[in-house]
Amino acid sequence: MYEELVLVRGIVDPPAHDALDEVENFLTGQGYTTVWRASDSLTVQRHRTGNAERYAPNLTVKALHQPDGGL
């Protein structure tokens, strides 16, 4: 039922806003709609076609600052 869209292991170095912009662009290209955007997080939802009463879970991405720099 669930599939992995992308996997990032390790620390990335762009500012949180830029990293979330890239994530948002990727996810909207995959059919997700932005539900909420904050300075350090993004929540999207994929709308299901057909049965409108089926539950469509939200996906939240957080950009967490690391002690040694990066996200």
Check residue 43 and give its pLDDT. 95
| Structure tokens belonging to residue 4 | 């992995």
Task: State pTM to two decimals.
Answer: 0.73
pLDDT digits (tens, 9 = 90+) for 41-66: 999 998 766 665 667 788 999 888 87
pLDDT digits (tens, 9 = 90+) for 5-27: 666 667 777 888 888 999 999 99
Classify the phi-psi angles of 36: left when phi > 0, otherwise alpha if psi is within -120 to 50, otherwise beta: beta
> In whole angstroms, what is the distance from residue 29 CA to residue 11 CA?
24
Q: Which amino acid is at 58?
A: N
Check residue 15 and give its pLDDT. 84
SS (H, E, C) 1-54: CCCCCCCCCCCCCCCHHHHHHHHHHHHHHCCEEEEEECCCEEEEEECCCCCCCC
Domain ranges, ordered by start, for the chain: 16-48+56-62
* Residue 34 predicted with pLDDT over 90: yes
